[in-house]
């Protein structure tokens, strides 16, 4: 799931709330990890090629139409947003000359493009391309997935409703200057300009491609790498863009191979067919003990939370808060992390991860089977039967363990496995009584993490149906506040109500994810869930580096 906001930007240099939290572990040396090709007598090829392996979401690379983190990892090397979140969780410039700050009204945002930014087809980016891109986002026929992150621009809701064809809140002054005007303050708006959903497209090329935009070689951006070939099914090859506006890229070529399953992908890594890939949590223990791979593993913290989602709609059997509290207290989170997850997480006492402003380090969720039984008795509930529809992998793994925990308090949990596509439809349609998933914000801001899931209008679309007017108001206040300390406090209050008063969801742990990389891969880091190729390089003098 992707999904994969932050501070009000009175000043670009204001990065004081989170710095370097995500990728400190990922910067660790990988020197001990070799490959199966190459030899020490080889002086090293001059061509720098990075081979990456991942699954194929089959959603294309148009991030207005996709929220998949794998698609984003590729698209962010091809297309660029006005700003960029680094792997160390800092918001920096990309297409703009500086990170803009709202005027005193909290509504007006002036932006300046860098001069002479080239698209891969040789045309020059202008402010008109920016306006076109955002208007395309709000055109109903586009069916963009993440309009809620930008729909405070004046005219956006009218465009989405089909009553307007122009985004009046985005005006173009000249080729490099444009201005956003919002309907109401939204403190995370500037941060939202740094993610893949705000990538800027060349008007002429995008219009010419039509429905084929984002597929095949209809992927023309301003990024460090351009598409050399793309069959949309098995592989995509990127080559460096020599006219990149911020200097020549380090790599000559990036070869991305799609794999149908994690086992095949890791075997390809062991065999030296790829240089870098993610390592799923359910395979971590296996490869920690693999002599060929163990020294290649890097674990890193994420901003996300793994949790059990409860459907609070009437008739689901979860309306009583005492039942929900009992289900939460019956889970031994520390044992779950230490054994089932091989230590790849930190026990969660609230929703927001430690790196996110609003996290409350003072709260915990006790493991207390006797209290859980007592709460069930108080609620007059016995022999409760619940159905959990979930997906394979880590979700199935920990829900099977939770099944045994809940059995101790008289709850029978039927764990059923669904195909990813079926599950996604059931989840969005509100058909899941109980399910498991991870919710990962794109950057360290609770708006991007809590508003997107627990604001009542959003919760109704996620098989949650949580609806608390007080929480809605806290989340709305935090969206418009320009005071970062105040925002953090509002989110802390909302988190406490959701998790410790309404017991509306069951956070389990904050995941530690992992990847594997060969010794010659340099600067391997992860921006939360999204693997970026921005700063990657390869050491062609490393004896393990394969001949290009």
Predicted local confidence at residue 117, as pLDDT: 98
Predicted local confidence at residue 35, as pLDDT: 55
Q: How far is CA 295 from the centre of its chain?
A: 27
Predicted local confidence at residue 490, as pLDDT: 98
Q: In the predicted model, is pLDDT for residue 58 greater than 70? A: yes
Structural domains in the chain plus CATH codes: 62-212 (3.90.76.10), 305-512 (3.10.105.10)
What is the percent of the chain where pLDDT is above 70? 91
For residues 90 and 16, give the distance between their C-alpha atoms in angstroms, rounded to a whole number. 9
Predicted local confidence at residue 25, as pLDDT: 40
pLDDT digit string, tens, across residues 322-343: 999 999 999 999 999 999 998 8
pLDDT digit string, tens, across residues 329-379: 999 999 999 999 988 999 999 999 998 999 999 999 999 999 999 999 999
pLDDT digit string, tens, across residues 149-176: 999 999 999 999 999 999 999 999 999 9
Predicted local confidence at residue 16, as pLDDT: 36
Average pLDDT over residues 262-272: 96
pLDDT digit string, tens, across residues 14-52: 233 333 443 344 444 444 576 544 444 445 447 999 999
Q: What is the largest CA-CA distance in the chain?
A: 75
- Which residues are within 8 A (CB) of 340 and not within 5 positions of it... i.e. 6 or more apart? 397, 398, 401
Predicted local confidence at residue 391, as pLDDT: 94
- DSSP element (H, E) containing 257: strand 253-258
Q: In the predicted model, is pLDDT for residue 6 greater than 60? A: no
Q: In the predicted model, is pLDDT for residue 398 greater than 90? A: yes
Q: In the predicted model, is pLDDT for residue 469 greater than 60? A: yes
Predicted local confidence at residue 15, as pLDDT: 31
Predicted local confidence at residue 527, as pLDDT: 74
Dihedral sign for Cα atoms in the order 481, 484, 485, 487:
positive
Three-state DSSP state, 125? coil
Predicted local confidence at residue 548, as pLDDT: 52
Side-chain-facing half-sphere of 72: CA atoms under 13 Å = 26
pLDDT digit string, tens, across residues 504-523: 999 999 999 999 999 999 99
Strand 91-93 and strand 108-112: the pairing is unpaired
Q: Kindly report the three-state secondary structure assignment for every residue of 54-83.
A: ECCCCCCCCCCCCCCHHHHHHHHHHCCCCE
Beta bridge partners of 113: 96
Concatenated DSSP letters for 435-456?
EEEEE--SSS-GGGTTHHHHSH
Residue 15 neighbours by CB distance under 10 Å:
19
């Amino acid at each position: 799931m992707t999904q994969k906001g932050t501070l009000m930007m009175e000043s670009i240099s204001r990065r004081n709330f989170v710095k370097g939290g995500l990728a400190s572990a990922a910067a660790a040396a990988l020197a001990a990890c070799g490959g199966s090709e190459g030899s020490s007598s080889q002086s090293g090829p001059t061509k720098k090629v990075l081979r990456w392996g991942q699954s194929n979401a089959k959603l294309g690379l148009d991030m207005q139409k996709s929220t998949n983190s794998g698609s984003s990892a590729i698209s962010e090397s091809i297309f660029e947003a006005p700003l960029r979140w680094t792997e160390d969780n800092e918001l920096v410039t990309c297409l703009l000359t500086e990170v803009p700050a709202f005027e005193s009204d909290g509504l007006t945002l002036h932006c300046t493009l860098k001069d002479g930014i080239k698209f891969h087809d040789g045309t020059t980016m202008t402010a008109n391309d920016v306006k076109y891109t955002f208007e395309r986002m709000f055109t109903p026929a586009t069916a963009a997935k993440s309009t809620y992150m930008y729909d405070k621009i004046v005219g956006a809701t009218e465009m989405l409703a089909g009553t307007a064809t122009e985004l009046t809140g985005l005006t173009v002054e000249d080729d490099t200057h444009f201005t956003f005007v919002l309907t109401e303050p939204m403190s995370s708006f500037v941060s939202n300009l740094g993610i893949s959903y705000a990538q800027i497209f060349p008007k002429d090329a995008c219009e010419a491609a039509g429905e084929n935009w984002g597929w095949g070689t209809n992927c023309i951006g301003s990024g460090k790498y351009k598409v050399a070939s793309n069959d949309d099914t098995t592989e995509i090859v990127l080559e460096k863009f020599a006219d990149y506006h911020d200097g020549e890229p380090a790599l000559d070529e990036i070869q991305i191979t799609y794999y149908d399953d994690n086992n095949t992908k890791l075997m390809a890594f062991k065999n030296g067919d790829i240089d870098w890939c993610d390592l799923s949590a359910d395979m971590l223990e296996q490869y920690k003990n693999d002599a060929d791979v163990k020294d290649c593993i890097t674990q890193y913290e994420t901003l996300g939370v793994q949790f059990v989602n409860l459907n609070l709609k009437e008739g689901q059997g979860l309306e009583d808060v005492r039942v929900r509290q009992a289900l939460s207290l019956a889970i031994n989170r520390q044992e779950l992390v230490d054994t089932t997850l091989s230590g790849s997480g930190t026990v969660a006492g609230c929703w927001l991860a430690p790196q996110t402003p609003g996290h409350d380090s003072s709260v915990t969720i006790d493991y207390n089977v006797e209290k859980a039984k007592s709460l069930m008795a108080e609620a007059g509930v016995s022999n409760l039967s619940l159905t959990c529809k979930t997906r394979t992998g880590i979700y199935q793994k920990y829900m099977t363990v939770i099944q045994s925990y809940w059995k101790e308090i008289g709850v029978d949990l039927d764990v059923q496995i669904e195909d990813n596509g079926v599950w996604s439809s059931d989840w969005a349609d509100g058909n899941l009584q109980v399910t498991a998933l991870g919710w990962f914000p794109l950057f360290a801001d609770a708006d991007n993490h809590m508003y997107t899931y627990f604001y009542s209008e959003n919760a109704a679309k996620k098989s949650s149906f949580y609806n608390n007017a007080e929480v809605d108001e806290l989340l709305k206040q935090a969206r418009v506040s320009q005071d970062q300390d105040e925002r953090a406090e509002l989110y802390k209050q909302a988190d406490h109500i959701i998790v410790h008063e309404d017991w509306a969801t069951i956070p389990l742990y904050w995941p530690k994810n992992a990847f594997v990389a060969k010794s010659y891969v340099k600067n391997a880091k992860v921006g939360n869930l999204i693997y970026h190729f921005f700063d990657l390089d390869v050491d062609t003098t490393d004896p393990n580096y394969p001949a290009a």
